[in-house]
Amino acid sequence: MTALLTISRAGPMMSVQDEGRYGFRARGVSTSGAMDRDAHAIANALVGNDPDAAAIEFALTGGAFTADRDTLIAVTGGSCQVEIAGKPVPTWESHSLKAGETLTVGALRGAVWGYIAISGGIAIPKMLGSRSTHLRTAIGGLNGKALEAGDILPLGETGKFALRTLGTPYLRGHGPIAVIPGPQDDYFDADAWKTFLRQPYRTTTSRDRMAMVLDGPALNAFKGHDIVSDATVVGSIQVPGSGKPIVLTADGQTTGGYPKIATIASFDLARLAQLPAGQQFLFRAISADLAEEQAIHAEDRLAAVIAGLKKREG
Amino acid sequence: MQFKPQSGSGPAPENSYPRILRCGDRAVAIEFSDTVSEAANLKVLSLDVSLAAAPIEGILETIPTYRSLTVIYDPMIVRGAFLGEELMQRATHDTAAPETGRLLEFPVLYGGEHQADLDELAEMKNMTAADVIALHSSVEYRVYMIGFAPGFAYLGGLPEILHTPRLAVPRQRIEAGAIGIGGRQSSINSVPGPSGWRFLGRTPFRLFDASRPEPFLLKAGDRITFRSADTDEARDLDRQVASGTAELKEIAR
């Protein structure tokens, strides 16, 4: 019998996500996957899942859950109130959720995207190689939709696994958000570049899994704000006629007709996505070659955190 | 390392093509033109074919567009600087011809729920709706790229007289299969969604259906003709599409 997880309460934007859907951007299919890949991978590792197992992602507010089998759960992404059968438990470590007990996950503090991993993973069928939900086109996930109260998710098989906690601390970067100039960096003159790299920008409430609209001084593209549509990537910074930058995130469309002044460095994209609305920050430009080095270091750091997980007393 | 913007306030220097554009630490693009041209698109597709036939380790996926090929890679395996050199090398030395692409015929129910746009377009062009239909279905289109949404096809080859600006206010929902015109481009809509394009009609065929063994109907390089179908034929095809028995007519390879 397949074990089932029942959702009795759901935050406004909760969905099934894994590491993403690869190989279909040429067919117009977005990558999707967790907005904060590190937090997603750590949640999975804490409950003994593979890093690419499907977990529940929530924006700002979690929900309430019950499983009909004994499971392990872990909540990561930021700090928030988590309770099992009415008893508070810490985030960023695994806990036992016995059959019939209720897990409640509250509101994130100082973060936007949270992850709830359950041992065995969410075992819905894959679509185009992934279980990730693309809400805009209803691909993947549970019928392509955001999770709601009353939804029931199948859980995968699991073996015995001890409770774990972080041995090596998981530290996010700090300071300005790193960007790599281009591909349409030459659409912007020296003044626009000075503005972009020296003036603060702010996150806004205009954000979802597709994109984040930023607030700050307008950026004028002296060559115009229309290009012949070309490919976008996760992290592309589009500048439409309003001059307000738009950062494409996990569910972002695969092509676009706005000039892209720069691309967020892959290792800083989750840090930007996790900034609460209204938070001010600066950009800094680095070369693509240096960004690759730092991206590799970031992968090594994540691997060290996962390898450093230690057993804890239940 | 400090980045120094190279662009000044003077006139933009002419770019020479092809050129390499870095797109972050996991993607690099090779650009063949800054305009829509069949010649540039053929070079894009030719290079894409070359990469499929003789892959470079570390490339995860490639995205051909009107005028550039974007390559997504794993920086743990290969570096963008190296890939850029390889792409330039192949683009300037390889002469592999891209596949001609299939020639497919799409039956279209012109008008229908899109009668208003069809009539307005005809009025703007000082033509009858029948003239617009005859003109739209008289030429061969080429799929320049797939993007924006799953299976959405950007077509080249729209007769110049039908070039029409997009609507000032986009509509909230346009159904899959709708045949649209946006500026100089034309398209077949693949999934329902908002759109500012003008629509002439719809085809019963679905460009994207995840439940099919081959979810995507078209790929870049395919060629398309449109044929006017009447309501009865369209309804019949709707039923066939719903039951999975409809077959698109392949005129040639």
| CATH number 2.70.98 given to A3-165 | no
d(C-alpha B7, C-alpha A206), whole Å: 31
Chain A hits for B76, CB-CB cut-off 8 Å, are 296, 299
Cβ-defined contact of A253 to B147 (cutoff 8 Å): yes
pLDDT band, residue B168 (cuts 50/70/90):
confident
Asked if B23 lies within 8 A of A295 by C-beta distance, the reply is: no
CB contact (8 A) between residue A139 and residue B150: yes
**Which residue, among B9, B23, B51, would best test binding to A if mutated, counting the most A CBs under 10 Å from its CB?**
B23
| Domain ranges (residues) in chain A | 3-165, 177-302
Measure B129 CA to nearest chain A CA, in Å.
30
Tell me how far apart the alpha carbons of residues B36 and B53 are, in angstroms, rounded to a whole number.
Answer: 26
How does residue B36 score in pLDDT terms, banded at 50, 70 and 90?
confident
Least CB–CB distance from A181: residue in B3, B81, B148: B3
Cβ-defined contact of A231 to B29 (cutoff 8 Å): yes
Show the tokens assigned to B29.
């693009």
DSSP string, A215-245: ESS----TT-S----EE--TTEEE--TT---
Task: Give the best residue of A292, A300, A302 to mutate against chain B (max B CB count within 10 A).
Answer: A292
The helix, strand and coil proportions of chain B, stated in percent and rounded to the nearest 5, come to 25, 30, 45
Place domain A177-302 in its CATH homologous superfamily.
Answer: Cyclophilin-like (2.40.100.10)
Measured between alpha carbons, how far is A152 from A144 in angstroms, rounded to an integer? 14
Say which of A23, A186, A288 has its CB closest to residue B25. Answer: A288
Q: What is the pTM of this model?
A: 0.93
Which of the residues A184, A255, A296 would you substitute to probe the B interface, choosing the one with the greatest number of B C-beta atoms within 10 Å?
A255
Cβ–Cβ gap B80/A289 under 8 Å:
yes
CB A119 within 8 A of CB A71: yes
Q: Mind telling me how many Å the CA of A81 is from chain B's nearest CA?
A: 36
What is the pLDDT confidence band of residue B11, given thresholds at 50, 70 and 90? very low
pLDDT in tens, B130-161: 999 999 999 999 999 999 899 999 999 999 99
For residue B59, pLDDT over 90 is answered with yes
- What is the pLDDT at residue B69? 97
The alpha-carbon gap from B113 to the nearest alpha carbon of chain A, in Å, equals: 22
Q: Which long-range contacts (CB under 8 A, 24 or more apart) does A198-204 make?
A: A198/A282, A199/A282, A200/A280, A200/A281, A200/A282, A201/A245, A201/A280, A201/A281, A201/A282, A201/A283, A202/A278, A202/A279, A202/A280, A202/A281, A203/A272, A203/A275, A203/A276, A203/A277, A203/A278, A203/A279, A203/A281, A204/A277, A204/A278
CA of A56, closest CA in chain B: separation in Å? 22
Chain A residues lying within 8 Å of B147, measured CB to CB: 28, 229, 231, 253-255
Inter-chain residue contact B147 with A137, CB threshold 8 Å? no
Looking at the complex, report in whole angstroms how far the Cα of residue B6 sits from the nearest Cα belonging to chain A.
Answer: 8
What are the tens digits of pLDDT across the range B178-222?
999 988 888 999 999 888 889 999 999 999 998 898 999 999 999
Reading chain A (314 residues) residue by residue, the pLDDT tens digits are 799 999 999 999 999 999 999 999 999 999 999 999 999 999 999 999 999 999 999 999 999 999 999 999 999 999 999 999 999 999 999 999 999 999 999 999 999 999 999 999 999 999 999 999 999 999 999 999 999 999 999 999 998 889 999 999 899 989 999 999 999 999 999 999 999 999 999 999 999 999 999 999 999 999 998 888 899 999 999 999 999 999 999 999 999 989 999 999 999 999 999 999 999 999 999 999 999 999 999 999 999 999 999 998 76
For residue B79, which residues of chain A lie inside 8 Å, CB to CB? 289, 292
pLDDT at B239: 96
Measure the CA–CA gap between A153 and A147, rounded to whole angstroms. Answer: 10
Tell me what pLDDT residue B195 has.
85
**Chain B residues in contact with A127 (beta carbon < 8 A):** 210
Contacts of A126 in chain B (CB under 8 A): none
Long-range contacts of B228-234 (CB under 8 A, 24+ apart): B228/B107, B228/B108, B228/B110, B228/B133, B228/B137, B229/B107, B229/B108, B229/B109, B230/B109, B231/B109, B231/B112, B233/B107, B233/B109, B234/B107, B234/B109, B234/B112, B234/B202, B234/B204
Collapsing DSSP to helix, strand or coil, A191 comes out as helix
Residues 6+ apart with CB under 8 A from A244: A213, A214, A215, A216, A218, A219
Poorest-confidence range of A91-100, A227-236, B39-48, B162-171? B162-171
Helix (H) or strand (E) holding A195, with range, is helix A190-198
A249 and A35 Cβ atoms separated by less than 8 Å:
yes
For A27, which of B36, B76, B146 is closest by C-beta distance? B146
Q: State whether residue A260 is helix, strand or coil.
A: strand
Question: Does the pLDDT value for residue B247 go beyond 80?
Answer: yes
User: Is the link from the previous residue into A183 a cis peptide, with omega within 30 of 0?
Assistant: yes
**CB within 8 Å: B81 and A289:** yes
Residues on chain B touching A183 (C-beta within 8 angstroms): 21-23, 29, 31
Residue A255 and residue B147: Cβ atoms within 8 Å? Answer: yes
CB-CB: which of A254, A265, A286 is closest to B63? A254
A25 to chain B, minimum CA–CA distance in Å? 6
- Residues in chain A within 8 Å Cβ distance of B12: 186, 222-223
Top pLDDT among B5 and B171 is at B171
Q: What is the pLDDT confidence band of residue B9, given thresholds at 50, 70 and 90? A: very low
Report the C-alpha gap between B192 and B149 in whole angstroms: 10
Residues of B in contact with A230 (CB under 8 A): 29, 31, 65-68, 70
Q: What does the alpha-carbon distance between residue B244 and residue B78 come to, in Å, rounded to a whole number?
A: 42
Q: Residue A66: which of A117, A118, A102, A115 has the closest Cα?
A: A102
Choose the closest CB to A189 out of B8, B67, B193: B8
Is the pLDDT assigned to residue B6 strictly greater than 80?
A: no
What is the per-residue pLDDT for A88?
Answer: 98
What is the 3-state composition of chain A as percent helix, strand, coil, each rounded to the nearest 5?
Answer: 15, 35, 50
Q: Evaluate whether A146 touches A25 at the Cβ level (below 8 Å).
A: no
Which pLDDT band holds residue B86 (cuts at 50, 70, 90)? very high
Enumerate the residues of chain B whose CB falls inside 8 A of the CB of residue A222.
12
Beta strand A310-311 pairing with B249-252 = unpaired
Percent of chain B with pLDDT over 70: 92
Q: At B253, is the pLDDT very low, low, confident or very high (cuts 50, 70, 90)? A: low
| Mutation choice for A interface testing from B25, B49, B189 by most A CBs within 10 A | B25
Q: Pairing relation of β-strands A236-238 and B19-22?
A: unpaired
Domains of chain B: 19-93 (3.30.1360.40), 103-252 (2.40.100.10)
Phi, psi of B68, deg, nearest 5 = -150, 160
Cβ pair A26:B61 closer than 8 A: yes
Whether A265 sits inside 8 A of B24 (CB atoms) is yes
What local confidence, expressed as pLDDT, does residue B101 receive?
A: 83
Q: Say which residue, B93 or A167, is predicted with more confidence.
A: A167
Which residue does chain B place closest to A294, by CA atoms?
Answer: B25
Complete DSSP assignment for B123-178: HHTTS-HHHHHHHHTSS-EEEEEE-SSTT-EEEE---GGG-BPPPSS-EEEE-TTE
Instruction: Band the pLDDT of B10: cuts 50, 70, 90.
Output: very low
Report the pLDDT value the prediction gives residue B158, as an integer from 0 to 100: 93
